[in-house]
Amino acid sequence: MSHQAKKRFGQNFLVDQQIIGDIVRAIRPEANDNMVEIGPGLGALTRPLLKQLNQLHVVEIDRDIIARLKTDYPQDKLIIHEGDALKFDLAQLPSPLRIVGNLPYNISSPLLFHFSDYATHITDMHFMLQNEVVERMVAEPSTPAYGRLSVMLQYRFYMEKLLDVPPESFRPAPKVHSAIVRMIPLPQKEIVVQNEKIYSAVVGAAFGQRRKTLRNTLRPLLSEEALAQLGIDTQLRAENLSFMDFAKIANWLSSQPINP
């Protein structure tokens, strides 16, 4: 039974067997792992993963694909969760959890932030994403790819780009290049941000007008004098600061009597 890729679900199915093998080797599944695959699609990763796992959870929204999965795999080995991954409560699955998937590129950033909320339940994550997104995730300060996504993920995860994946590895072929990224949550004791809400507000303000200096973008949150006391050059732009710098600002704000 053939399946027509659906644009509304951002479906591009991986078909390159060499790449599939490389991804599974990078994941290194072990029989007793608590693993969940986001968007299994036509089973490019599902099938080889199940050869090494006792059980695999999958989250899928496409009813046609769900019907295929129920037919193609033993239901005691493949546990299907029907619905939107953006709304799925990962805490209901056994932990520590390993997450894998070829994420829909049109909602990849919201998905990454959604999964981040469950970092304390997660051992690691391996995702196929648009290469441009992966480059932004792992970018260093003062480089073109560095931005809000970099800062919002780097304080919580160790991240590494593992593989480049060309468009011809998919059917239908996307118009962009893809890549595999590994994300490992940092131990709670190593997370330097004291208040995530304030940290997010600082980062959002700084990158909201990224061509302006911090003196201007952060003025609603703290004074130029306060920035100077923290050792932050007010003439720099958001792209010049590391996540540690943003954490320093946010932690100072969280210590003040009135928070933003």
Instruction: Give the tokens for residue 155.
Output: 């304080």
d(CA 163, CA 140): 19
Q: What is the pTM of this model?
A: 0.92
Q: Is 126 exposed, middle or buried (0-12, 13-18, 19+ CB in 10 A)?
A: buried
d(CA 43, CA 58): 10
Cis peptide before 96 (omega within 30 of 0): yes
d(CA 217, CA 241): 13
Domain 196-254 CATH assignment equals 1.10.8.100: yes
d(CA 46, CA 229): 53
Q: What is the mean pLDDT of residues 99-104?
A: 94
Q: Helix crossing, 196-208 with 243-254: angle to 10°?
A: 120
Q: Is residue 10 pLDDT above 70, yes or no? A: no
Tokens 């078909």 sit on residue: 15
Determine the CATH number of domain 7-190.
Answer: 3.40.50.150
H-state helical runs in the chain: 17-27, 46-50, 63-72, 108-116, 131-138, 148-154, 196-208, 214-217, 224-229, 243-254
Task: Please state the domain extents for the chain.
Answer: 7-190, 196-254
Task: Convert the pLDDT of each residue in 75-90 to its tens digit.
Answer: 999 999 999 999 999 9
Task: Convert the pLDDT of each residue in 104-155 to its tens digit.
Answer: 888 999 999 999 999 999 999 999 999 999 999 999 999 999 999 999 999 9
Instruction: Give the tokens for residue 79.
Output: 């546990």
Give pLDDT, residue 12: 79
Task: Convert the pLDDT of each residue in 198-207 to its tens digit.
Answer: 999 999 999 9
Determine contact, residues 186/207, Cβ cutoff 8 Å: no
Give pLDDT, residue 171: 86
Determine contact, residues 137/226, Cβ cutoff 8 Å: no
d(CA 30, CA 13): 25
